[in-house]
Amino acid sequence: MSLSHGLEDLAKNLFELSCAGSRSVWPKMTGLEDVSGNIESRKKFLTASHAGMSEAQSIIIDNLRSGKSISVSHHVLFRGIADAIAWQLINMQLCYARRFFKGHDQPNIDQCNFDSVVFAAESHMSDNPGSIALISDLTSFVQVGDLLTMSNIGQQGIIEVKEGEKNKEISDALKFYSESKCDLFLHLFAESEGQLTMKQMGRMARQIGRMAHVAEVMSKGVSEDPDKKMMVYIPDEMIDTETWYDVLQDTMLASKDRGWAINTIDDSIFIGCYSEEKMRLAGHIFFNSWFDQCGATPQCPRGSLFSSMIHPLAFPVFNLQISNDLKFDTLFGRIHVCIGFNVEGFLGQCEKSGLEVRFATNKEATKADQTGIKPYRHKGKAIFVGDGQSEQLIMDGIFLRAMYHHQRPINLIKNILLQMRQESPNKLLQETQKAAPLISALDHMGDRT
């Protein structure tokens, strides 16, 4: 529910470095157009930002190498800072974060051998002044490549670090085979090197494929996921989705004034903020009681603002658009914020706003399950929401974005349906249907918001 109070000074220092490292150049900037339209301004801004991020990463590495005991609070703080850096490097885009996240557990950060990766990161930044090389294992969601990099003009990169002569030999063989497509070479290599080497070659080939997929998605917006064998399509157009940060901040401030406060957004998002000590300690009990009385079922998603520090695809508290004071009040337990998603209220608001809601047939739900798209089930039934021209199965992705990316649910679903109509090329759909279903629009196409 909170970080150890003794870490607050460290947390504030890491936050300033990782999220406001460019503060020194802010007075010289006239606005964001300075960064996007003027290459010299962009270089100055990114160089300063990356310097702060690099220093924050160095402090984390020094703590991990110090030999001192690393508490759970340290783990959460360090991963939260690394995640805050990573989200900035991918422009806060969930569609890119999903490509980096493979769903497995990250290594324990205090038990990793960082030596080779730290050396590679430092070498990259030394060879490329003004750049940043973020160590992937420090984050909770970057699981493709060992380093996530950005240059001083904003060029992104992914680097895999391999040690030893054998890995170099395998890497050279893979490069030769990818260029020559010579099956005889591969056969002879397998005969001479043996089964263990070929297994390692397979692992390296899969890593290279994943890196190429992420790079292609980020540069072109279309690529086949090598693991799921599905096409991923990200629309070019950036569509703004309304957020509820203003409601969150106002409710948190009201709670600080009187000890507690509650609010709702679109009859879908329910928030309870508790800052008075007794209310804070039992806040989840008060919240759940109120939430249930308002029609929430046991299956309705529930969480807390602090839990975004643990969810790998949520914005960490450091990246939220609320005041810095409220961020640290949340992190260090001075305010407890509970969040719930009322599915019944959401469906009712969809209908009120002119959308169509229907339960999926058993055949439709089973087909979705078989293609790897697991729909959310409300009262045992999968649900379609449509606008008369297109419809979308409701899946967990909408809860993630509504609760932990703070997007207004009704505006979000309308944007997703709009993108489905406008942004899905017939050619892409035809190509996809030959091999596998298009990865859900709710899960991916609507991410670029």
What mean pLDDT is predicted for residues 319-333? 97
Non-local (6+) Cβ contacts of 19 within 8 A are 84, 88, 318, 319
- Check pLDDT > 70 for residue 427: no
Contact (CB, 8 A) for 402 and 302: no
The reported pLDDT for the residue numbered 36 is: 67
**Type of residue found at 301:** P
Q: Identify the band that residue 425 occupies on the pLDDT scale cut at 50, 70 and 90.
A: very low
The reported pLDDT for the residue numbered 371 is: 77
pLDDT > 90 fraction of the chain, expressed in percent and rounded: 54
**Phi-psi map region of 267: left, alpha, beta (phi>0 left; psi -120 to 50 alpha):** left
73-77, 413-417, 441-445: the lowest-pLDDT one: 441-445
- Check pLDDT > 70 for residue 121: yes
The reported pLDDT for the residue numbered 142 is: 95
The reported pLDDT for the residue numbered 5 is: 94
Backbone angles phi, psi at 444, to 5 degrees: -135, -50
What mean pLDDT is predicted for residues 218-240? 80
The reported pLDDT for the residue numbered 228 is: 78
- Check pLDDT > 50 for residue 446: no
Tokens 């190429």 map to which residue?
A: 212
* DSSP letter, residue 305: S
- Check pLDDT > 50 for residue 320: yes
Alpha-carbon distances, residue 177 vs 146, 182, 193, 230 (angstroms): 23, 6, 15, 25
Question: Nearest Cα to 400, choosing from 284, 326, 313, 327?
Answer: 313
Is the pLDDT higher at 108 or at 204? 108
What mean pLDDT is predicted for residues 129-150? 95
Q: What is the pLDDT of residues 265-308, one digit of tens each?
A: 999 999 999 999 888 888 899 999 999 999 999 999 999 999 99
What are the respective helix, strand and coil percentages of the chain, to the nearest 5? Answer: 55, 15, 30
- SS3 of 338, please? strand
Helices vs strands, H then E, count in the chain: 18, 13
The reported pLDDT for the residue numbered 190 is: 76
Q: What is the dihedral sign for C-alpha 300, 306, 308, 309?
A: negative
The reported pLDDT for the residue numbered 309 is: 96
Q: What is the pLDDT of residues 190-216, one digit of tens each?
A: 777 777 777 777 777 777 788 888 888
The reported pLDDT for the residue numbered 184 is: 78
93-102, 108-117, 353-362, 408-417: the lowest-pLDDT one: 108-117
Q: Strands 260-265 and 302-304: what pairing?
A: unpaired
36-45, 77-86, 179-188, 366-375: the lowest-pLDDT one: 179-188
The reported pLDDT for the residue numbered 32 is: 64
The reported pLDDT for the residue numbered 170 is: 66
What mean pLDDT is predicted for residues 250-256? 96
Is the pLDDT higher at 342 or at 210? 342
Q: Identify the band that residue 34 occupies on the pLDDT scale cut at 50, 70 and 90.
A: low
The reported pLDDT for the residue numbered 33 is: 61
pLDDT > 70 fraction of the chain, expressed in percent and rounded: 89
Q: Where are the beta strands (DSSP E) in 70-159?
A: 132-135, 147-150, 156-159
What mean pLDDT is predicted for residues 16-40? 81
- Check pLDDT > 80 for residue 102: yes
Q: What is the pLDDT of residues 351-402, one digit of tens each?
A: 999 999 999 998 988 888 887 778 899 888 999 999 888 888 898 889 999 9
The reported pLDDT for the residue numbered 12 is: 98
How many Cβ atoms are within 10 Å of 418's Cβ, its own excluded? 15
Q: Rounded CA gap, 55 and 52, in Å?
A: 5
User: Which tokens is 168 given?
Assistant: 């170099």
The reported pLDDT for the residue numbered 46 is: 94
Tokens 């750049």 map to which residue?
A: 131
The reported pLDDT for the residue numbered 21 is: 92
pTM: predicted TM-score of the whole model, two decimal places: 0.85
- Check pLDDT > 50 for residue 429: no
**Gyration radius of the chain over CA positions:** 24
What integer best gives the mean pLDDT of the chain? 85
